[in-house]
Amino acid sequence: YYAAAVAWYETIGIGVTGGEIYTLIEEMLADHPFRMALNPGHAIHLDEWVHSGIYPRSTCRLSSGMALQLDIIPMCDDEAYFTINVEDGIALADASLRSKLSEKHPETWSRIQARRQFMHDILGIHLKEEVLPFSNMPAVLRPYLLSPHLALRVNR
């Protein structure tokens, strides 16, 4: 499951289609106990599920200015497993939008850059430059409820 979430983060970007994201996650979870309950991501706002461009065979190309959410809701038929979840918001921003954001909102930009660095240096996730994480705990998955100091990371 976490490998699929990491792949989502490393694949999402400007020009990627919703169908590419859907197929990637579907294939990664095909031989595992967890599968997707719904589409593996959607727009962020009041219409988040109604207007998702991430669905099977979607040709919707993701573009700069879009606010999206990684949301791979896991389902498992085997009662031996309990579900886990990573659910984070991001924005896609081309060079022009990133420049405007950094100039007009330097504190916000600083937080976004700190999150990107955390994801790269601590979790081992390599984001495209246009992916701006919004969550204060981006891609953090704690596998043990009673051990909040532990989190998964990529082992490359």
Residue range 25-40, pLDDT digits in tens? 999 998 877 777 778 8
Spatial CA neighbour of 72 closest among 153, 5, 145: 5
Q: With bands split at pLDDT 50, 70 and 90, how would you rate the model's confidence at 59?
A: very high
pTM for this entry: 0.92
Mean pLDDT lowest for which of 94-98, 109-113, 123-127, 142-146?
Answer: 142-146
All structural domains of the chain with their residue ranges: 2-133
Fold of domain 2-133: Creatine Amidinohydrolase (3.90.230)
Quote the CA–CA distance of 10 and 99 in Å, as a whole number: 22
Q: Contacts from 133-138 at CB under 8 Å and sequence distance 24+?
A: 133/88, 133/89, 133/90, 134/67, 134/88, 134/89, 134/90, 134/91, 135/88, 135/89, 136/111, 137/88, 138/88
Please give the share of the chain, as a percent, with pLDDT higher than 70.
94
